[in-house]
A = this chain, B = another copy of it.
Amino acid sequence: HGKAAKAQAEAHAFLRQFYAETGRTGLEARLRQWTLDPTLTHEELTFGARVAWRGSARCVGRLPWASLRVRDRRHVTAPDEVFSELVAHLREAWNGGRIRPTMTVFGPGVRIVNDQLIRYAGYTQPDGSLVGDPQNAALTAYLRRVGWAGGPGTRFDVLPLCVTVNGHPHLFEWPADAVQEVNITHPDCPAVGELGLRWHALPVISNMTLDVAGQKFHAAPFSGWYLETEIAARNLADQGRYDQLPAVARALGLDTTRRRSLWMDRALVELNVATLHSFDAAGVRISDHHGVTAQFAEFARQEAQAGRVVRGEWSWLIPPVSPATTPVWAATFDPQEVPPRFRRQRRAWLDDRADSGAS
């Protein structure tokens, strides 16, 4: 009974918050009705998802939280339908480059194995070296175990998507037009463009559970647009990822023999310049770290004015490029998240009942 009572208390707290914040009347009737049918309305689910975003301590992009579009697909649980709804998510979120914050919520039993919808393969070679994105080596290996034949073997092979329903995996290849990508070129230095770097336009996080009103939605992928540092200062730059700073520095003609030439820092800044330039030139929405942190400061001001605690994990909010030049550097936040909220899942393939080779 403890669990049921807790869920009931969480549902009531959520409904109270929904009625209070939206200024609706009829809370008491809604609470009585909930006892008979504990199903969120579309409006309640949407509000819950938006408030979960608003309270995400690790997200610096929260200013437009109220604009989140929620695609309510709680009735969808068949693998093929899940996949076609995900393709529709990518197309609607993409919106010709004018990316819109979007979430799709699926029904019970559905899990998305890939931690983001678009991921590049990481192929471990016989000699132990790796082609592609090292972060996705385990995911790539899992997808091969469940039947993927493998891609062409480039550094940027888009992985197929694996959806499990009640623990049974189903593989899908994305139609070409669903995955939008941007080639990275530098405004002044063609040699950077010749490195052949690229990244996809939509970061769709698919391994977090949306927790609203005591209910857990395990398949509720969401997407905003990229912050340039995610691509240029982590994905392409980290030594444990694409490790491209030495190559970018050489393309820029920097002296990589002396640490104190700060070639690494120079290459890092220019890779960020190139990423912003390339997305802008392609008409694809992207934030820059000065703009997004200024917007975050405005978000924090609005939240404080509304009488709400500003949730934040400082170490996630500061950008990995010139952090002390941004307004989050000198700020402090409460890191504690409260429901409605997102929670990280353990890697979904650990729960695949058919797979025994979990890594």
**A82 interface residue per 8 A CB criterion:** no
Chain B residues with Cβ below 8 Å from A269 are 262, 265-266, 269
Task: Identify which of B259, B280, B323 contacts A288 (C-beta below 8 A).
Answer: B259
Pick the interface stretch among A1-9, A43-51, A156-164, A314-322: A314-322
Q: For residues 249 through 280 of chain A, which have their beta carbon under 8 Å from a beta carbon of chain B?
A: 259-262, 264-266, 268-269, 272-273, 276-277, 280
Chain B residues with Cβ below 8 Å from A238 are 324
Residues on A facing B (Cβ under 8 Å): 233-234, 237-238, 245, 259-262, 264-266, 268-269, 272-273, 276-277, 280, 288, 290-291, 314-315, 318, 320-325, 329
Among A237, A261, A272, A325, max chain B CB count under 10 A is at A325
Q: Which residue of B lies closest to A324 (CB)?
A: B320
Expressed in whole angstroms, the Cα–Cα distance for A261 and B187 within the complex equals 10
Q: Which residue of B lies closest to A326 (CB)?
A: B264
B259 near A290 (CB under 8 angstroms)? yes
Instruction: State the oligomeric state as a number of copies.
Output: 2
B261 near A265 (CB under 8 angstroms)? no
B273 near A237 (CB under 8 angstroms)? no
B320 near A323 (CB under 8 angstroms)? yes
Chain B residues with Cβ below 8 Å from A277 are 260
Q: Which residue of B lies closest to A245 (CB)?
A: B325
Expressed in whole angstroms, the Cα–Cα distance for A288 and B260 within the complex equals 7
With A233-B322, A262-B288, A318-B323 known, 5 other A-B pairs at CB within 8 A are A237-B325, A259-B291, A260-B277, A260-B288, A269-B269
B325 near A268 (CB under 8 angstroms)? yes
Query: Would A265 and B324 be within 8 Å (CB), given that A259-B291, A288-B259, A314-B315 are in contact?
Result: no
Among A259, A268, A291, A322, max chain B CB count under 10 A is at A322
A196: min CB distance to chain B, Å: 22
Q: Which residue of B lies closest to A330 (CB)?
A: B240
